[in-house]
């Protein structure tokens, strides 16, 4: 009898212990953040990509309102919807098509590649916009070099008006 109770107590303690560890771990993950990657920036990166069109679907290998490609997704750590299986075909598409899940992909990618792409001495949303258009490895080429880039910039600045700090 006593040993049965003891067993349950130990089991419960175990569960609490690992529950707490999990909680601490997920809090630590939430604390990784980029300065300047705030709600407005995330929204404007979405706007720059597609006008933040949530019903675009997948077009030419790019999915969702942020136009996320499979390589970008993989590079960002293969974020998937809760309870999904990373090896399921469609896991990438379904995350990229979900606004919330896509934002996690974007965050991971930018945490990995954040840098001063326009050489203005700060790392902010304008740089993140360049990273998303150019890719993380070579983010420096100015966006106004081609038509797609000019359209991207136009949408970006219509969402994120230029201020002395935002460039
Ligand atoms: C979003 O994209 C779909 C598919 O191309 C299009 O039919 C729709 O008009 C777009 N929505 C907006 C708000 O632009």
From 18-22, 49-53, 152-156, the region with the lowest mean pLDDT: 18-22
Q: Do the beta carbons of residue 126 and residue 167 sit within 8 Å?
A: yes
Residues 110 and 94: their CA atoms lie apart, in Å, by 20
Domain ranges, ordered by start, for the chain: 1-31, 40-159
Residue 6: pLDDT over 80: no
Output the CA 86–ligand 1 centroid distance in Å.
Answer: 29
Atom of ligand 1 at shortest distance to CA of 51?
Answer: 14
- The pLDDT assigned to 27 comes to 45
Ligand 1 site residues, Cβ closer than 6 angstroms? 51, 53, 55-56
Measuring from atom 12 of ligand 1, which residue has the nearest CA? 53
Under CATH, what is the fold of the domain 40-159?
Answer: Lysozyme (1.10.530)
Output the CA 136–ligand 1 centroid distance in Å.
Answer: 28
Output the CA 67–ligand 1 centroid distance in Å.
Answer: 14
Q: In the predicted model, what is the mean pLDDT of the chain?
A: 87
Helix or strand (DSSP H, E) at 166: none
* Ligand 1 mutation pick, 46, 53, 54, 60, max ligand atoms within 8 A of CB: 53
- The pLDDT assigned to 23 comes to 47
Residue 9: pLDDT over 70: no
Query: Strand, helix or coil at 2?
Result: helix
- The pLDDT assigned to 167 comes to 59
Output the CA 54–ligand 1 centroid distance in Å.
Answer: 8
Mean pLDDT of 80-92: 97
Name the band, by pLDDT with cuts 50, 70 and 90, for residue 28: very low
Output the CA 122–ligand 1 centroid distance in Å.
Answer: 35
> Measured between alpha carbons, how far is residue 55 from residues 96, 99, 107, 163 in Å?
12, 10, 21, 31
Name the band, by pLDDT with cuts 50, 70 and 90, for residue 2: low
Measuring from atom 4 of ligand 1, which residue has the nearest CA? 56
Residues 125 and 119: their CA atoms lie apart, in Å, by 13
From 13-17, 63-67, 70-74, the region with the lowest mean pLDDT: 13-17
Q: What is the pLDDT of residues 95-153, one digit of tens each?
A: 999 999 999 999 999 999 999 999 999 999 999 999 999 999 999 999 999 999 999 99
- The pLDDT assigned to 8 comes to 66
């Amino acid at each position: 009898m006593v040993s049965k109770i003891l067993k349950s107590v130990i089991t419960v303690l175990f569960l609490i212990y690992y529950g707490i560890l999990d909680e601490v771990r997920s809090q630590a993950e939430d604390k990784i953040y980029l300065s300047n990657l705030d709600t407005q920036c995330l929204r404007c990166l979405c706007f720059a990509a597609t006008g933040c069109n949530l019903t675009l679907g997948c077009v030419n290998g790019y999915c969702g309102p942020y136009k996320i490609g499979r390589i970008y997704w993989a590079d960002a750590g293969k974020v998937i919807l809760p309870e999904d299986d990373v090896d399921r075909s469609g896991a990438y598409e379904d995350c990229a098509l979900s606004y919330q899940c896509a934002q996690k992909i974007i965050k991971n990618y930018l945490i990995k590649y954040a840098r001063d792409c326009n050489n203005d001495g700060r790392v902010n949303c304008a740089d993140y916009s360049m990273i998303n258009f150019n890719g993380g490895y070579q983010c420096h080429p100015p966006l106004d070099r081609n038509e797609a880039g000019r359209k991207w910039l136009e949408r970006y600045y219509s969402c994120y008006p230029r201020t002395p700090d935002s460039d």
